Amino acid sequence: MSALMLQLAGPLQAWGSAARFARRTTENAPTKSGVIGLLAAAQGRDRTQDLSDLTALDFGVRIDQPGTRVRDYQTAHHLDTDRSMPVSERFYLADAVFVAAVAGDDALIDRLHEAVRAPVYLPYLGRRSCPPARPVDLGLRSGTGVHEALESEEWRASTWYQRRLRREAAVSLPLLVDAVAGDTRADSRRDTPLSFDPLHRRYALRGVRTHTVEVANPWARGPAAPEHDPTSLLGGD
Amino acid sequence: MSRTILDLHVLQTVPPSNINRDDTGAPKTAVYGGARRSRVSSQAWKRATRMAFDDLLDAGELGVRTKRVAELLTVRIQNIDTAIEEREAWTLAAETVQAATGSKIDVPKRKAEAAKKNGQPEPAPESAYLMFLSARQLDALAELAVEGRADIKAFLKDNKKRAKELADTRHSVDIALFGRMVADGADVNVDAAAQVAHAISVHPVENESDYYTAVDDENPDEETGAGMIGTVEFNSATLYRYAALDADLLRRNLGEGLREDEPVTQPLRRAVEAFVRGFVESLPTGKVNTFGNHTLPEAVIVKLRRTRPVSFVGAFEEPVAPGDGHVRKASERLADYVGQVEAAYGLADDTETWVLRVGPSTADLADLGTELPLAELVTAVGTATAERSAPTA
């Protein structure tokens, strides 16, 4: 087993899992369907092509820099009559950085790695108007699963963001991975793609387990502030 | 497989303006690199580019986005056979489009009722939403409709595949570049070959508000106050604009060798040239009469690549600080960043680069590639793209 590490960074990204019609929302982290879609497109698969090998991969994502939510208000007009069409709202994550990992069979992961470096269809971060600002490919980690690979990955947040947290020598990052069967503390999300066929897109539920991982902050400065808990003076327990 | 991908990078300064606003009337913004930036949405700039095509391309190479597709087809049907009455042509047109796209073409209920009430004849049928068809596709569908005139329903039953093919080949330049979505007929959808990013300013921006009063011309008395007061929000920005173009997909969308008398890559070449020129020169028109912000880019960098597109927005993640304007610093940053990224990822060798730049503040960009004025740059890019995509004999 090996893991392919992907860096998802850009001024704007959008990862919808329940977005429909005129209100297109985004989750706060990349969805499995979004990342599998990116990989399938990199390989040049058509929308109607079988995805089962990609869906079977283990998936995880780490929120290295959470970003902020942007609401985009969009109008459109009929070109012939100039009457306005229904306005739509699109939500984006601005200024976010994620590290995603997929793990599985070595040969398939190798092929995906190659595809990400020379993609057949242009890559984008959840929505076509969101091109990546950094190379997506972060390389392979052989002999590890998603969780371990994401745990040992260096912190990919932007320099300005790392410096802003310079008082923290180690930073906690949320890590969202596929839940194992029977995990009662998992959330569920409908973002496992079964088919991207535009005639009938289908998604299955996926159990998602949230962990936190600690990463070192390269910009950490001096010793951490001493432990200070004023309420301890009040005694009691 | 050899790939051809075109990257377009533009630095453009706009003075106080509000070219793309949100529902409160404020210019759109986004946070990047921890700082608020001015933003112009990709949709706004794609529309401006598409509008610029009217002056750059023949109408026959463009598409029409309308609900009145039956009426458009009727004109063409009657051009082929003047003996066909309007009403019969409407039916022929409606049935043909329905077979080709899977979308229902009906007389809109409300319009029909209104006509009935006013004693007018029934109006023309329309599609339920905007249909995007190229001029060539409409011509071909009109011919098909006339061919099956005797019994259109039975004819289309046998020729449904042909009708679909006619709606799915020979796409116009705008459909090939920006895509088409037909909700009821996903098999005639077209994947966009162009990817346009939201333009963002290279520096932090705070929106400002202009308080204005309007004087009543017909009220010459003193101390009358204002006839109207209001505010307009605006900002000024040096924008980084980026677009990527998949030349291989564009070529597939356009089709090739459509005319005997031209090389197979001619449609691709014309489309690439129109896109580069249209994207560089166009500007969304929001509040343009209020601010008169008709600027042209200070710098344009065009790159032809073999593996993948690369955006240089990372050069501006750390916002440019104000100083002697923003263009000089932005050019310095960009020149430095392009070199570093291409060296780090081994991209420099397979990349051809052209540069257009204005004034001494963009001097740092000169070494990135071949410097040319716009008209020559457009031709050079079009030629190189066509050559790379030409079948190797």
Rounded to the nearest angstrom, the minimum Cα separation between A184 and chain B is 37
Q: Rounded to an integer, what distance in angstroms lies between the CA atom of residue B380 and that of residue B372?
A: 9
Neighbours of B89 (CB within 10 A): 25
Contact A78 B28 (CB under 8 A): no
Neighbours of B137 (CB within 10 A): 23
Rounded to the nearest angstrom, the minimum Cα separation between B97 and chain A is 18
Domain limits for position A48:
2-216
Asked whether residue A227 is assigned to any structural domain, the reply reads: no
Do the beta carbons of residue B244 and residue B76 sit within 8 Å?
no
Q: Mark residue B96 as left, alpha or beta (left: phi above 0; alpha: psi -120 to 50; beta: remaining).
A: alpha
If chain B, 393 residues long, is cut into consecutive pieces of 10 residues, what is the mean pLDDT of each piece?
A: 89 95 91 95 94 92 89 93 91 92 88 89 88 90 92 90 89 91 79 96 94 82 77 94 96 74 84 96 93 95 94 96 91 95 87 95 94 96 90 54
Q: Which residues in chain B are closer than 8 Å to A120, comparing Cβ atoms? A: 1, 3
Name residues whose C-beta falls within 8 Å of residue B194's C-beta, 6 or more positions apart in sequence.
B46, B177, B178, B243, B244, B245, B246, B250, B275
Model ipTM over 0.95 = no
Identity of the residue numbered A182: G
Q: What angle do CA A75, A78, A81 make, to 5 degrees?
A: 135
Neighbours of A71 (CB within 10 A): 12
- Which residues is A63 bridged to in the sheet? A98
Q: Mark residue B32 as left, alpha or beta (left: phi above 0; alpha: psi -120 to 50; beta: remaining).
A: beta
Mutate to test the interface with A, among B38, B317, B342 (most CBs of A within 10 A): B317
Do the beta carbons of residue A126 and residue A120 sit within 8 Å?
no
| The pair of three-digit structure tokens given for residue B361, joined into one six-digit string | 């503040």
Do the beta carbons of residue A55 and residue A192 sit within 8 Å?
yes
With bands split at pLDDT 50, 70 and 90, how would you rate the model's confidence at A224?
low
Mutate to test the interface with B, among A88, A125, A129, A166 (most CBs of B within 10 A): A129
User: Which residue from A153, A156, A138, A152 is spatially nearest to A97, judged by alpha carbons?
Assistant: A156
**DSSP track, B151-189:** GHHHHHHHSHHHHHHHHHSS--HHHHHH-B--TT-GGG-
Same domain, B158 and B233: no
Name residues whose C-beta falls within 8 Å of residue B124's C-beta, 6 or more positions apart in sequence.
B68, B70, B71, B74, B90, B107
Number of domains forming the structure of chain B: 2
Q: What is the mean pLDDT of chain A?
A: 90
State residue B79's pLDDT score.
93
Same domain, B232 and B375: yes
- Which residues is A175 bridged to in the sheet? A62, A211
- Which residues is B213 bridged to in the sheet? B229
User: Residue A223 pLDDT more than 70?
Assistant: no
State residue B1's pLDDT score.
54
CATH number at residue A125: 3.30.70.2660
Can you say whether the dihedral through the CA atoms of A230, A231, A233, A237 is positive or negative? negative
Do the beta carbons of residue B277 and residue B376 sit within 8 Å?
no
Identity of the residue numbered A152: S
Q: What is the largest CA-CA distance in chain A?
A: 76
Neighbours of B24 (CB within 10 A): 7
State residue B392's pLDDT score.
54
Do the beta carbons of residue B357 and residue B343 sit within 8 Å?
no
Average pLDDT over residues A163-174: 93
Same domain, B104 and B163: yes
Asked whether residue B20 is assigned to any structural domain, the reply reads: yes
Same domain, B236 and B365: yes
Identity of the residue numbered B168: D
Average pLDDT over residues A29-57: 95
State residue B169's pLDDT score.
84
List pLDDT tens digits, range B26-74. 999 999 999 999 999 999 999 999 999 999 998 888 988 888 999 999 9
Q: What angle do CA B332, B335, B337 make, to 5 degrees?
A: 105
Contact B30 A11 (CB under 8 A): yes
Number of domains forming the structure of chain A: 1
State residue B170's pLDDT score.
84
Say whether B112 sits in a helix, a strand or coil: helix
Rounded to the nearest angstrom, the minimum Cα separation between B226 and chain A is 32
Domain limits for position B75:
64-171
| The pair of three-digit structure tokens given for residue B29, joined into one six-digit string | 């913004």
Same domain, B140 and B14: no
State residue B391's pLDDT score.
66
Query: What's the pTM?
Result: 0.86
Partner-chain residue, chosen from B32, B189, B311, that has the shortest CB–CB distance to A95: B32
Same domain, B116 and B258: no
State residue B324's pLDDT score.
83
Rounded to the nearest angstrom, the minimum Cα separation between B390 and chain A is 18
Residue B216 Cα to chain centre, angstroms: 41
List pLDDT tens digits, range A76-118. 776 666 677 677 888 999 999 999 999 999 999 999 999 999 9
Same domain, B70 and B49: no
Asked whether residue B126 is assigned to any structural domain, the reply reads: yes
Q: Rounded to an integer, what distance in angstroms lies between the CA atom of residue B268 and that of residue B272?
A: 6
Asked whether residue B183 is assigned to any structural domain, the reply reads: no
Q: Which residue has the tokens 């209020």?
A: B290
Same domain, B70 and B15: no
Asked whether residue B186 is assigned to any structural domain, the reply reads: no
Asked whether residue A234 is assigned to any structural domain, the reply reads: no
| The pair of three-digit structure tokens given for residue A173, joined into one six-digit string | 């990052």
State residue B393's pLDDT score.
42
List pLDDT tens digits, range B304-319. 999 999 999 999 999 9
Contact B22 A72 (CB under 8 A): yes
Same domain, B41 and B71: no
Same domain, B53 and B87: no
Do the beta carbons of residue B198 and residue B86 sit within 8 Å?
no
Same domain, B264 and B116: no
Contact B318 A129 (CB under 8 A): no
User: Residue A237 pLDDT more than 60?
Assistant: no
Q: What is the largest CA-CA distance in chain B?
A: 83
Same domain, B103 and B149: yes
